[in-house]
Amino acid sequence: MNEILGMDNDGIWSEDMLWAVAMSDLAVFLLDSQGQMLHSNDAARVLAMRLHPDDVRPDPAQLLDYIPEQGWQIAMRDGRWIGEVPTRQTGLVLEVKAFAGGDRGLCRRFVVMTDISVRSAREGELRRRHDELQSTYDRLASAQEQLLQSEKMASIGQLAAGVAHEINNPIGYVHSNLGTLQEYVGALLALLDGYHTALQSDDPAASRPLLRRLRDRLDVDFIVGDVPKLLEESREGIERVTKIVQDLKEFSHVERDEPMRSSDLRKGLESTLNIVWNDLKYKAKVEKHYDEVPLVECHLSEINQVFMNLLINAGQAIAERGLITLAMGTEGDEVWVSVGDDGVGIPEDVQARIFDPFYTTKPIGHGTGLGLAIAYRIVAKHHGRIDVTSRPGAGSTFRVVLPIAQPALSRPRAK
Ligand SMILES: Nc1ncnc2c1ncn2[C@@H]1O[C@H](COP(=O)(O)OP(=O)(O)O)[C@@H](O)[C@H]1O
Ligand SMILES: [Mg+2]
């Protein structure tokens, strides 16, 4: 120690400092103002031997090569540079702290090195676990998304029979009307033919009784009265089919990656009711109490799925015949929509569980227990809420409350 004090030490390291350095179990290197090593402690020598096991007396100064030029530049500017450096020994990672600073007109530099292999390995392990968790989370999120989508598709499947019936019915009478119209056209053409023949003859007036008889036989008066009715009915039938197909299209539309849009909840509720109508119409009368509501920023097809799940549940809660009450209104900066039924109701101790995934009181094939869980999730994603009031024997009312505008943070920034 003294040798360095007495030697070319630039006079910047006092004896007690050197003593502290010698005692340290961190590898410490003292440098002159040019960056030449003046002194290193035992810990530095041990570290050098670990890094150069083949050298009999490895020079600790070699370790200073691990400090990049840029490191020293930063140390000169900010007083210190800290870096983690992998070494030529696999698995051995060093934390290097290089200090530089002026003191009484002299430049002091020193370096401290710590073996952080264990910490670094632990951090690597943590990072790996974190990545694993993240990827599990991503997979779970995408599975949930798929579940949401498949529940929607399953509901559509369940509804398909009803919808098919709903479409078949108008198609049926449009088809039969077309048959009748075809007969009518045949009769009218026959009559036209009669008129034509009469006009071609030398004495058309003589054909009058014949034409009158033909007209009676073809029942033309009835046809003339019936045709507009048939046409009108057929047009209504086609319009009903078009509407159902449109609603189905809207319903099955996936807008997951699209931004939320200002949407008409009333239209959504009506078109969803249209789709499930076949399941409900034999059981329930529907009463509507709609207030004017503003457009709501949402993924409408997802909100429609919420409405559908609530409507189907309401229908299933009614045993024979009942009433479904739909209502909506505005409260402050929120819009609420409620679906009520006068069906079986939900016991109080069960009410807390109905939003749990897979909770169902229905027989296999009738319930998956996912409808309300998915409704809950969709509504939460829209920063809204869904709750229920119910009395066993009297019925239940589910209320969905949605903010008119989504909170600014959740909205993607305008480009
Ligand atoms: N309108 C309602 N009336 C009575 N019970 C209901 C109603 N809606 C939901 N429930 C109860 O909540 C449970 C969970 O509903 P849901 O998540 O839609 O699953 P599922 O309808 O497939 O059973 C139902 O099984 C039923 O017990
Ligand atoms: Mg359900």
- Taking residues 69-73, report their average pLDDT: 91
Q: Measured from the CB, is residue 359 less than 6 Å from ligand 1?
A: yes
pLDDT of residue 5 exceeding 60: no
Two tokens, residue 137: 């989370």
Q: 382 near 274, Cβ under 8 Å?
A: no
- Give the span between the Cα atoms of 273 and 283, in whole angstroms: 14
Residues 401 and 271 in one domain: yes
Write out 329-393 in H/E/C secondary structure: EEECCEEEEEEEECCCCCCHHHHCCCCCCCCCCCCCCCCCCCHHHHHHHHHHHCCCEEEEEEECC
Q: Are residues 344 and 397 in the same domain?
A: yes
Strands 296-298 and 261-263 come out as: antiparallel
Residues 276 and 405 in one domain: yes
Nearest Cα neighbor of 94 from 74, 79, 111 is 111
Are 111 and 165 within one domain?
Answer: no
Residue 175 in this model has a pLDDT that exceeds 80: yes
Tokens of 11: 């006079």
Q: Which amino acid is at 97?
A: K
Q: Above 50 in pLDDT, residue 90?
A: yes
Is residue 415 scored above 70 in pLDDT? no
- What spacing in Å lies between the alpha carbon of 270 and ligand 1's midpoint? 21
> Taking the mean position of all CA atoms in its chain, how far away is CA 213?
72
* DSSP string of 202-229, one letter each residue: S-GGGGHHHHHHHHHHTTHHHHHHHHHH
Q: Is the CB of 32 under 6 A from ligand 1?
A: no
Would the CB of 337 count as within 6 Å of ligand 1? no
The answer, yes or no, to whether residue 105 has pLDDT greater than 70, is: no
Name 51's Cβ contacts closer than 8 Å, sequence gap at least 6.
58, 62, 63, 87, 88, 89, 92
Give nearest CA residue, ligand 1 atom 18.
371
Residues spanned by the domain of 91: 2-115
* Residue 75 in tokens: 């140390």
Question: 136 lies in a domain?
Answer: no
Residues 235 and 282 in one domain: no
Query: Does residue 346 share a domain with residue 278?
Result: yes
| Interval between CA 242 and ligand 2 midpoint (Å) | 27
CA 300 / ligand 1 centre spacing (Å):
22
Q: 3-class DSSP state for residue 262?
A: strand
- Residues 24 and 26: their CA atoms lie apart, in Å, by 5
Structure tokens at 269: 């509720």
Distance CA 145, CA 153 (A): 12
Nearest CA to ligand 1 atom 25: 360
**Average pLDDT score, the chain:** 87
Is pLDDT larger for residue 285 or for residue 160?
Answer: 285
Split at pLDDT 50, 70, 90, the class of 6 is: very low
What is the share, in percent, of the chain residues with pLDDT greater than 90? 55
Q: Which residue has the higher pLDDT, 305 or 161?
A: 305
Helix (H, G, I), strand (E, B) or coil at 237: helix
Q: Mean of the pLDDT values across residues 272-286?
A: 89
| Closest-approaching ligand to the CA atom of 355 | 1
Rounded to whole angstroms, how far apart are CA atoms 328 and 166? Answer: 27
Number of domains in the chain: 3
Whether 199 and 305 share a structural domain: no
Query: Which of 59, 55, 56, 65 is closest to 44 using CA atoms?
Result: 59
- Shared domain for 307 and 413, answered yes or no, is yes
310 vs 346: CA distance, rounded Å: 14
Tell the burial category of 134 from Cβ atoms under 10 Å away from its Cβ (0-12, 13-18, 19+). exposed
Q: Which residues surround ligand 2, an ion (CB under 5 A)?
A: 313, 371
- The ligand whose atoms approach the alpha carbon of 324 most closely is 1
| pLDDT at res. 410 | 65
370 C-alpha to ligand 2 centroid (Å): 7
Taking only the tens place, the pLDDT of each residue in 320-330 is 999 999 999 99
| Most confident by average pLDDT, 46-55, 107-116, 292-301 | 292-301
Answer whether residue 133 is part of any domain: no
For 328-374, write each residue's pLDDT tens digit: 999 999 999 999 999 999 999 999 899 987 788 988 767 778 889 88
pLDDT at 12: 62
| Ligand 1 pocket: which of 360, 364, 398 to mutate (most atoms within 8 A of CB) | 360
User: By C-alpha distance, which of 193, 227, 189 is closest to 210?
Assistant: 193
Q: What is d(CA 148, CA 170) in angstroms, rounded to the nearest whole number?
A: 32
pLDDT at 200: 92
What is the pLDDT confidence band of residue 11, given thresholds at 50, 70 and 90?
A: low
Q: Is 367 near ligand 1, meaning CB less than 6 Å away? A: yes
Residue 1 has a pLDDT of 46
- pLDDT score for 358: 77
Q: Range with the lowest mean pLDDT among 60-69, 94-103, 405-414?
A: 405-414
- On the question of pLDDT at 28 being above 90, the answer is yes
- Residue 103: strand pairing partners: 106
For residue 310 and ligand 1, the question of a CB distance below 6 A is answered with no
Q: Which of 407, 406, 410, 386 is nearest to 398 (CA)?
A: 386
Are both 185 and 303 inside the same structural domain?
A: no
For ligand 1, the distance from its centroid to the CA atom of residue 282, given in whole angstroms, is 20
**CATH code of residue 62:** 3.30.450.20
pLDDT above 60 for 262: yes
Distance 366 CA to ligand 1 centre (A): 10
Give residue 15's pLDDT.
Answer: 79
Whether residues 387 and 290 fall in one domain: yes
